Structure 1
Amino acid sequence: MNSTAPNRRPTPPAPEHVADDLQRIRLLTREMRASEKRIADNGRERRALLRELRLKHVPFRTLAEAAGTSEQAIYKDLRHGRTRTA
């Protein structure tokens, strides 16, 4: 018979290691939230610039090349931006 029971729980880590890991989780979560906010802010600014440039008749192809994406993605981004801000 195997000396290790399948339902045996592992030994919990020392409390000081848990506290350090929990603090690291808190820090990472704060950094993730800050990054998400920056991404959202950048997206709003990008859409505003795209709208401005479209009003100046800059072609979708030119915008797509500058953004490193497809014309369809630019169109969707502009449409999405109008829908969300309206």
Structure 2
Amino acid sequence: MSSILVSTLGVLDALLCVLVALAACDYLRRIRPIDQPLLSIAFYLVAIGAFGAFVTAMQGQWVNPFGALLHAGVAAYAWARRGHVFESKS
């Protein structure tokens, strides 16, 4: 039972890492680094970290449940605030 839970958590964490990396890349596509350098650096770090976490999850490393919770929170934040980035400034 424990191995099923761990493997399910690993798959969920890998999926969340992909979603976080895609959201960060989408943010980077929409903002200009010259206008918002700190935000750009933050999203670059998130994208690189999410990709690294995805690679380690695919290698079969043990998944920290709090790490999966963190990835779920970042993905939920990106989904909730997606309209803020796509607003046109007049």
Higher relative contact order (CA 8 A, sep 6+): 2
- Greater share of helix residues, 1 or 2? 2
* TM interval, short-chain normalised: 0.3 to 0.5
TM-score normalised by structure 2 residue count = 0.41
TM-score normalised by the chain length of structure 1? 0.43
